Amino acid sequence: MQKLLIGTRNSGKFAEIQALLAETRIELVSLSDIGLELTVDEVGATYRENAALKAQAYARASGLITLADDSGLEVDALDGAPGLYSSRYAPQPGATDADRRVHLLKNLSGHPRPWRARFCCVVALATPEGDTQFTEGACPGEIIPEERGQFGFGYDPIFLVEGKGLTMAELPMDEKNALSHRARAVKAAVPLLVSLFG
């Protein structure tokens, strides 16, 4: 059976996508599984463009149908920042997820709470020939000034999920996968995968 390549080097994302697609029984492979060292510059102007750039480049290079996502955190008080730049949102080179959380809280410190925000995700599904389909998902919440929880990655410890009273990082993966932006986008892609993989 043909394999589905997951076009990400973020191990947190890979694990979430793997759990979300377990029911499809499609065999997933990572970039490192197939030894693909290609890096794709995220130079698009939207999540959709960046997701397409990644999915199409990895599909072309590998000859495999490829799923890639582009995602980000949008904070209303910062006019939607960090948004498209969420993974690069810190002044210092070599910054970590923890540095980016500190930087975000510093930029929010003068603004009145609640700091309303949402995670957004666009999934692109590309064939080696370049045919590409998209799905989307979002998850509303607010940024809080202290870190809570040990699961997840990125901004999860400071993102309080709307209606839950818990941060994304306080939710074990199966609970995050019941409501997250990525879960919504990946689940919407399942019927597309089923028709591609027959």
| Between 61 and 120, CB nearer to ligand IMP | 120
Please select the residue that binds ligand IMP; options are 156, 161, 167, 183, rule is CB under 6 A.
156
C-alpha distances (whole Å) from 53 to each of 68, 83, 126, 163 are: 9, 17, 10, 34
Of residues 37 through 96, those in contact with ligand IMP by CB under 6 A are 42, 69-73, 86-87
The whole-angstrom separation of Cα 192 and Cα 35 is 26
| Between 12 and 128, CB nearer to ligand IMP | 12
Q: Which residue is nearest to ligand IMP (CB)?
A: 154
* Binding flag, residue 154, ligand IMP (CB under 6 A): yes
Please select the residue that binds ligand IMP; options are 59, 75, 180, 183, rule is CB under 6 A.
180
Task: Compute the least distance from the CB of residue 1 to ligand IMP, in Å.
Answer: 28
The reply to whether 70 belongs to the active site is yes
Task: Compute the least distance from the CB of residue 4 to ligand IMP, in Å.
Answer: 18
Active-site residue (options: 33, 41, 69, 70):
70
Task: Compute the least distance from the CB of residue 197 to ligand IMP, in Å.
Answer: 24
Residues that bind ligand IMP (CB under 6 A): 10, 42, 69-73, 86-87, 119, 152-156, 168, 180, 182
| Residues identified as active-site | 70
